[in-house]
């Protein structure tokens, strides 16, 4: 039986878009006869990653799913890739596919993350099988993927699963379907502002949202 | 100028430490007020992705560790200099964990910049960004990825100016560092 391992690089334990899209993909692989397993990448930097590498050694396909932080991979995911390259398993013919999302409407913000993962794959000798990137990630985690802005792209996830199960890369058309913004940017800007204010009220923010915690010395 | 130098060099990495030393020397020789923070020695946990720095405790991360102190120093600086190893075209994780925790310096609200949505700046002044990546040897793809990443960082962090350079072991580190600073108008002393 072919095996796929989903590695979730979100620090959120629940309502994680990374987990939701990852589960959606590996459930489709399971429906095609694959054995699947999901693991979270530890967010504590003192946690040993050996157990994670044991799982990778058994997988023909590694599905790496993570949010974009400050234009690239979150630190725990970066640490994981660094340790994989230094001491992780090498398996002949192992493949990597990346699922990534950001908090902006445009998937273009994910481009650097994808390039980093592609560079990693080349360096460690893992076969690169593409990436799916999309915007508005937090809304996927909150609403559930079936009711999220990327629900419209889910049918194309079957096409991606077919390709991956056949040992092929994710088709460009699938990546394009995920990358297409659901809403125009101006609407996202307007609705986003209201959403942040609502969240601040729900969380009983201890200061105005525009509050400046730190002093800036006036210099000529 | 006030400069925060985030030293991302690794323990035992003599070549990386040399580049950081060159940066520190160039800034000091230029008469700047430089504070060097060693990323690997900081107590910084991973960003929890909770957005509490926007919606619960606006303007500051809800985790009380060294990242708060770094954020306060960075936003009061004229220049934020990040020097450290590049892996696969991104920052080493010890540096990245610090950067991940800085988003409270921005507002959660959105604006359009160059046709894309970005966050609004929180402070009237944000520091210029200079990033120096160190590598054993140049590889076109990873060098390009890092350069693009820093350009994206500069937009998202509202840096009024930025420069980026990737320095390999065989390169003239002093010259490259000074060129990177010159590119954003930061005065340096004459190289020894």
CATH number of domain containing A144: 3.40.50.360
Dump the DSSP string for chain B. -EEEEEE-PPTT-HHHHHHHHHHHHHHHHTT-EEEEEEGGGS--PPP----HHHHTSTTS-SS-SHHHHHHHHHHT-SEEEEEEEEETTEE-HHHHHHHHTTGGGEEEEEEEETTEEEEEESSS---EEEEEEEESS--HHHHHHHHHHHHHHHHHTT-SSEEEEEEETTS-HHHHHHHHHHHTT---PPP-
- Find which of A83, A214, A219 to mutate to test the B interface (most B CBs within 10 Å of its CB): A214
A111 CB within 8 Å of a chain B CB: yes
Interface test with B, best of A115, A141, A217 (most B CBs within 10 A): A115
Region A205-212: what's the mean pLDDT?
97
Sign of dihedral through CA atoms A215, A216, A218, B4?
positive
Domain count, chain B: 1
Q: Report if residue B188 sits inside a domain.
A: no
Residue A198 placed within a domain: no
Predicted structure pTM score = 0.97
Q: Is the pLDDT of residue B191 over 60?
A: no
Q: Average pLDDT in the A80-90 region?
A: 92
Mean pLDDT of B42-61: 98
Task: Please tell me the predicted confidence (pLDDT) of residue A88.
Answer: 84
Whether the per-residue pLDDT at B86 is higher than 60: the answer is yes
Residues in A closer than 8 angstroms to B99, CB to CB, are 70, 75
pLDDT at B140 over 60: yes
DSSP, collapsed to helix, strand or coil, labels residue A166 as: coil
Amino acid A8: pLDDT: 98
Question: B 48-77 residues with CB below 8 A of A?
Answer: 48-52, 54-60, 71-72, 75-76
Tallying the residues shown for chain A, one arrives at 220
Name the domain count of chain A. 1
Number of Cβ pairs closer than 8 Å across A and B? 187
Q: Indicate whether A25 pLDDT > 70.
A: yes
Which residues of A fall within a CB distance of 8 Å from B75? 214, 216
Report if residue B191 sits inside a domain: no
Per the DSSP assignment, residues forming a β-bridge with A96 are A62, A128
State percent of chain B over pLDDT 90: 97
Q: Please give the pLDDT value at position A143.
A: 73
**CA–CA min distance A7, chain B (Å):** 17
Residue B190 placed within a domain: no
Q: Report how far apart, in Å, the C-alpha atoms of B51 and of each of A85, A103, A219, B23, B85 are.
A: 31, 11, 31, 33, 28
Is B13 domain-assigned? yes
Residue A13 lies in a domain: yes
**Residues A138-147 pLDDT 10s:** 888 677 888 8
Nearest to B152 among A71, A188, A199 (CB): A71
Residue B27 in domain: yes
Minimum distance, in Å, between the CA of residue A34 and any CA atom of chain B: 30
Supply the range of the domain harboring residue B99.
Answer: 2-183
Please give the average per-residue pLDDT across A196-206, as a whole number.
97
Q: Does residue A209 belong to the interface with chain B, where contact is any CB pair within 8 Å?
A: yes
> Domain range for residue A162?
3-183
**CATH number of the domain where residue B135 is located:** 3.40.50.360
Give the mean pLDDT of chain B.
96
Please name the residue of chain A whose CA is at the shortest distance from the CA of residue B56. Answer: A205
Q: Are A112 and B89 in contact (CB under 8 A)?
A: yes
B87·A213 Cβ contact <8 A: no
Q: At residue A18, does pLDDT exceed 90? A: yes
Of residues A115, A196, A216, nearest to B54 (C-beta): A196
Tell me: pLDDT of B192 over 70: no
**What pLDDT score was predicted for residue B168?**
97
Res A28: pLDDT: 98
Summarize the confidence of residues A189-214 as an average pLDDT.
Answer: 96
List, for residues A34-73, the tens digit of each pLDDT value. 999 999 999 999 999 999 999 999 999 999 999 999 999 9
Better-scored residue on pLDDT, B79 or A14: B79
**Average pLDDT for A12-34:** 94
User: From CA B74, how far away is CA B128, in angstroms rounded?
Assistant: 10
The pLDDT value recorded for residue A149 is 85
Give the per-residue pLDDT at A90. 81
Nearest to B81 by CA among B108, B99, B64: B99
Instruction: Select from B59, B117, B125 the Cβ nearest to the Cβ of A105.
Output: B117
- Single out the residue of A153, A166, A81, A78 nearest to residue A123, CA to CA: A81
Chain A residue nearest residue B50, CA to CA: A12
Given a cut of 80, is residue B190 above it in pLDDT?
Answer: no
Q: Which two tokens stand for residue A69?
A: 């932080």
């Amino acid at each position: 039986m072919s095996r796929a391992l989903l590695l979730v690089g979100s620090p959120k334990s629940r309502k994680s878009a990374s987990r939701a899209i990852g589960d959606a993909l590996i459930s489709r692989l399971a429906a095609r006869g694959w054995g699947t397993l999901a693991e979270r990448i530890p967010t504590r930097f003192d946690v040993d990653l050996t157990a994670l590498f044991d799982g990778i050694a058994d997988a023909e396909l590694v599905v790496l799913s993570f949010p974009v932080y400050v234009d690239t991979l979150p630190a725990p995911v970066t640490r994981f890739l660094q340790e994989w390259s230094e001491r992780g398993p090498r398996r002949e013919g192992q493949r990597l596919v990346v699922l990534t999302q950001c908090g902006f409407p445009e998937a273009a913000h994910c481009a650097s993350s994808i390039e980093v993962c592609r560079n990693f794959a080349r360096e460690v000798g893992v076969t690169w099988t593409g990436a799916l990137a999309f915007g508005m990630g937090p809304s996927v985690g909150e609403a559930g993927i079936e009711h999220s802005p990327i629900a419209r792209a889910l049918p194309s996830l079957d096409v991606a699963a077919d390709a991956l199960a056949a040992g092929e890369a994710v088709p460009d058309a699938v990546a394009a379907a995920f990358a297409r913004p659901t809403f125009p940017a101006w609407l996202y800007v307007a609705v986003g502002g209201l959403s942040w204010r609502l969240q601040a009220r729900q969380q009983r923010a201890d200061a105005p949202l525009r509050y400046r915690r730190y002093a800036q010395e006036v210099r000529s | 100028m006030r400069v925060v130098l985030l030293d991302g060099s690794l323990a035992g990495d003599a070549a990386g430490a040399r580049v950081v030393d060159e940066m520190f020397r160039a800034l000091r020789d230029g008469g700047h007020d430089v504070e060097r923070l060693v990323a690997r020695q900081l107590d910084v946990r991973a960003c929890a992705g909770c957005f509490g720095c926007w919606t619960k405790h606006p303007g500051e991360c809800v985790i009380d560790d060294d990242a708060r102190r770094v954020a306060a120093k960075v936003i009061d600086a004229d220049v934020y200099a990040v020097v450290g190893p590049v892996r696969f075209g991104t920052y080493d994780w010890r540096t990245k964990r610090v950067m991940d925790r800085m988003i409270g310096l921005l507002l959660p609200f959105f604006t359009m910049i160059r046709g894309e949505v970005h966050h609004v700046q929180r402070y009237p002044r944000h520091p210029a960004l200079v990033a120096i990546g160190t590598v054993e040897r140049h590889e076109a793809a990873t060098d390009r990825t890092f350069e693009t990443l820093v350009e994206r960082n500069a937009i998202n962090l509202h840096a009024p100016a930025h420069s980026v350079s990737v320095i390999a072991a065989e390169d003239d580190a002093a010259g490259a560092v000074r060129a990177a600073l010159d590119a954003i108008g930061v005065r340096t002393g004459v190289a020894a």
